[in-house]
Amino acid sequence: MAAKKAEQALVEEWRDILALHARTQCELDRALHGHGLCASDFEVLDVLAEGGTTGDGCGYRVQEISDQVHLSQSALSRLIGRLEKDGLVERAMCPEDRRGVRVVLTAKGRALHGDVRPVQRAVLARMLDVAG
């Protein structure tokens, strides 16, 4: 009987995590919509903004971004295509590493990220109750 209760508690905790994720994702999408972005768009910009300021500055390969934003490579490629069409990212060869194409933020993408970052962080703080 105790094992069944422990199993049920585990399942309930998992479902609570999923529900929190879904609610937070919806809130992020609502807050970012006015800026022309969805939550996944912002996550890609955020990863690129954080990575673009360190190392060789050559951005990331699509697979490296996929590992961080938890999208399939095909979904991420389509998302990057949309961001590229909007002038927010570009695909480029890294002069030091010609083995593959890298994705980097454009000046427009960096500016939009800077404008929207506080909005995204405020939603996270409110939804995850880390601000107080």
Spans of all domains in the chain? 2-128
Whole-prediction pTM: 0.85
Query: Residue 89 and residue 50: Cα distance in Å, rounded?
Result: 14
Q: Is the pLDDT of residue 105 over 50?
A: yes
**Ramachandran category for residue 106: left, alpha or beta (phi over 0 → left; psi -120 to 50 → alpha):** beta
pLDDT tens for 10-36 read 999 999 999 999 999 999 999 999 999
Sequence-distant contacts of 107-111: CB under 8 A, at least 24 apart: 109/45, 109/48, 109/83, 110/49, 110/52
pLDDT tens for 47-95 read 999 875 434 567 888 888 998 998 988 999 999 999 999 999 999 877 6
Query: Residue 52 and residue 36: Cα distance in Å, rounded?
Result: 22
Strand partners, 101: 93
**Ramachandran category for residue 40: left, alpha or beta (phi over 0 → left; psi -120 to 50 → alpha):** alpha
DSSP-based three-state secondary structure for 106: coil
Q: Is the pLDDT of residue 106 over 80?
A: yes
Strand partners, 14: none
Pick the CATH number of 2-128 from 2.60.40.1930, 3.40.50.720, 1.10.10.10, 3.90.226.10: 1.10.10.10
